[in-house]
Structures are given as C-alpha cells and as structure tokens.
Amino acid sequence: MPAADRPDARSAGAVHNDMIMPTDVRCLVTGDGSYTLVRATGTLDPAGARSLRDTLLARRADHPGPLVVEVSGLRVDGPDGWAVFADVRTAAAEWPVSELLLYAETGAAARDWAGHGVPVARTPAEALAGSVPVLPLDVPLEPAVGAAKQARELVTEACLGWGVPELAGAGCIAVTEMVNNVVTHAHTPMTLRLAVRDGALRLAVRDWSLARTAYAGLVPPTATGGRGLLLIDAVARRWGDTLVPDGKVVWAVFHPEDTAEY
C-alpha cells in the first residue's frame, strides 16, 4: 500500500526518516534501495526496546532486502534491550526476507553486544558481505474478487521459475486461503511475497488489519466454514501470523519432502 494511502502511523510508534518515536529512541532510516540502513540511538529500556522492535518489524514487513542496524548509539537498560534484535529475528525468521544485520562504529559497542551473544560487524559493508540475500517476488494485490486466482498464478509461475514445481500445489492451497481471508475479513490492500531459501518455499501475505487469524484446530464435519486455516496447517510445515504496528504478516513454509500431490 502506498505510504500516502495508509493510516497515519505516527501515533502507533512507527518511524519515518529522522522521526522521534514515543520514547527517546530515534531511528534514521536510509539506504540505496538494495538494503535498508537504520541508525538507532537512545536507551533500550523496556519501552524503548518495544518501540525499536515494532519499528524494525514494520521495516521487515514492507522491505524484504537486508536490514542493517547501527547499534553504537544505543544504551541498554535491562535484558529487554539486549534481546530486542533476537526477538526481531525470531518474529521474522520464516518470512521471505533477507537477514537482519548489525554493525557498530565503535569497538566498545561491538564488544558489548558480542558479549551478550549478538554478532556485530564493524561496517555496513562487512555486515552485508557475510549475508545471503533473498530475492523475493513482491506483488501488491487488491482485496477484490480474483485476487486469489492472481495469487495462485504468481505462486505457480514462481515455483516453476525457481525450479521447485512440486511446491506449487501446496503453495496455491495456502495462498488461496490467506488472500481470501484478507478479501473477506481484513478488507485492506495486501502484498504477496514469495522466496525460496534453503530449498524451501517461503510465502507471506502482508495486510493492514490488526485482527489476528483465528485457528481453533479441527472443525466439526457439520460446520459450514472455518477450514481455511486448517488447510494451511495441513500443507505447510510451519505457518503463523505476526502483528506489526499497522497490520500483520501471515506466513507459511513449504519443503519438497513434505509435499504430496495436491
């Protein structure tokens, strides 16, 4: 969704270039298009850590390339601060996006983070040199009749092009349910993102609704609905949804060895 068409995210703690969030944590976002660079400064107390986590997840949801964060200007106050980057990595681990990378302009900052088990490079170039970029297919879709059909065609074409045609069937089943959920319930524009990483198809649909997906397991045979998420659960090795400040990402992962003829 174009930024001009989205709800104003300022009150939700999201960040635009050089905008102060509702704590003293400040993020300056730049980049050359192939990656995003975030210079973060301020105190990572519990509130600051939550705001930084939300900001980084929002960038992950909308920018699939590498995300490089400069950490020299961050002061850590408590365990939440040291854990914030691990939390972001965990939340977006299965999304079709590139890595979250850290660097520090001062050796002392690098040693501090490394002492807490967080790898930190010395420069953005060094951080990017050690990463494996993910090149996703990123397509906006409107919440309209025909969106699921368009999504299935994209999944099928992508799987053929990436040499994993055996994953197209399962991917089409899952993406149909994800897209139809947006059309039926969220009523917002969406973005379909696909990538192959480590031989697995990673699929995500990002929308602008904060309503969580509701999965309650098996439904009675007499029920007239509620099987959509059950179908995703049946064909994906892993799937889930992650809230971001202005919406959510529903994702799924498919491996060739799990795939039968769908």
Q: What is the pLDDT of residue 67?
A: 95
Radius of gyration of the chain (CA): 19
d(CA 48, CA 42): 8
Q: What is the pLDDT of residue 34?
A: 83
- Tens of pLDDT, residue by residue, the chain (262 residues): 444 344 333 333 333 444 434 458 999 998 777 899 999 999 999 999 999 999 999 999 999 999 999 999 999 999 999 999 999 999 999 999 999 999 998 888 999 998 999 989 999 999 999 788 888 999 999 999 999 999 999 999 999 999 999 999 999 999 999 999 999 999 999 999 999 999 999 999 999 999 987 654 444 443 333 446 889 999 999 999 999 999 999 999 999 998 755 5
E strand or H helix that includes residue 45? none
User: Which residue from 200, 196, 214, 209 is spatially nearest to 249, judged by alpha carbons?
Assistant: 209
Q: What is the pLDDT of residue 225?
A: 37
d(CA 67, CA 233): 30
Q: What is the pLDDT of residue 21?
A: 45
Q: What is the pLDDT of residue 130?
A: 79
Q: What is the pLDDT of residue 127?
A: 93
Name the CATH topology of 137-258: Heat Shock Protein 90 (3.30.565)
Neighbour tally for 259: CB within 10 Å = 18
CB contact at 8 A, 211 and 255:
no
Q: What is the pLDDT of residue 15?
A: 38
DSSP conformation letters of 127-184: HHHT------EEEEE-SSTTHHHHHHHHHHHHHHHTT-GGGHHHHHHHHHHHHHHIII
The answer to whether the predicted template modeling score (pTM) of the entire model surpasses 0.85 is no
E strand or H helix that includes residue 185? none
Name the CATH topology of 3-129: Transcription Regulator spoIIAA (3.30.750)
- Do the bridges between strand 67-76 and strand 100-103 make them parallel or antiparallel, or are there none, so unpaired? parallel
Give residue limits of the domains in the chain: 3-129, 137-258
User: Which residue from 40, 17, 19, 20 is spatially nearest to 30, judged by alpha carbons?
Assistant: 17
Tokens of 215: 């999965």
Q: What is the pLDDT of residue 161?
A: 96
d(CA 35, CA 11): 26
